[in-house]
Amino acid sequence: MSYFRELPVIQYQSPFSTRSSSDEYVNVKNLFRRVKLRDDLKSNITFLRNYYVRDGFRPDQVANDLYGSSTYDWVVIHSGGIVNIRDEWPLTSKEIYDYSLYKYGKDLNEIRYYVTKEVKDSNGKVYLPKGKVVDSNFTIPDPTSSTATLNPVGGVTNYEHESNINEDKRNIILLRPNYLQLFITDMKRIMRYTKSSQYISNRVVRTENTRNTSPN
């Protein structure tokens, strides 16, 4: 199903000079009507699953892979909590390289910061986890020796930094396929209007015709 087909309509007075009368209206899709995952679904891991976005996959391809149809790309976007797809969807490997090269130029492979490497003690227990941002001269006592110290540090380049951010975007949480119809039912309910002074139908509201409104 198409998301935009389900959007309700607002009727506005026609702004066109070719209108046949002051009572002529144009239909405009109500883009302010937005769908979001219900709080009770969002907070219950039973309804959700982890999904890894493969390199080059678009939302429609993810939808086809998970829900069996590319037309559910809007479910991927909304259940994934994505607001700005340009900034929040992962780039391809080539795109992230080109972006990083444009951003950093000759400093592409310069060290941006340093992070810890994983260190285990003699029993195989993690003594120092990896990935903590530290200074380049960071040291710790060697857990396997009473006298030695270690400098378990590695540098992260500008390119690696951008690649890591992009990689994090590949891990998203999506609605499980067996709850898809529940989400669609909610969406259709949200897209319906309730009765008001502008109400025409549950799919259409009409703004006031100011051309026919008498001044006070």
Q: Which two tokens stand for residue 123?
A: 């029993």
End-to-end CA distance of the chain: 47
pLDDT confidence of residue 202: 78
pLDDT by residue, tens only, the chain of 216 residues: 577 777 778 888 877 767 666 678 888 888 777 777 767 666 677 889 999 999 999 999 999 999 999 999 999 998 888 989 999 999 999 999 999 999 999 999 999 999 999 999 999 999 999 999 999 999 999 999 989 999 999 999 999 999 999 999 999 999 999 999 988 888 788 778 888 888 888 778 788 766 555 444
Beta strands in the chain (DSSP E): 9-13, 25-29, 48-52, 111-116, 119-120, 126-128, 133-134, 140-141, 149-150, 153-157, 171-175, 199-201, 204-206
> Cβ of 91: how many Cβ atoms within 10 Å?
20
Q: What is the dihedral of CA 7, 10, 15, 17, to 10 degrees?
A: 80
pTM: 0.76
pLDDT confidence of residue 214: 47
Q: Where are the domains of the chain?
A: 106-157
Contact present, 8 and 192 (Cβ < 8 Å): yes
> How far is the C-alpha of 60 from the C-alpha of 77, rounded, in Å?
9
pLDDT confidence of residue 42: 67
pLDDT confidence of residue 12: 83
pLDDT confidence of residue 210: 62
pLDDT confidence of residue 29: 83
> How far is the C-alpha of 1 from the C-alpha of 92, rounded, in Å?
27
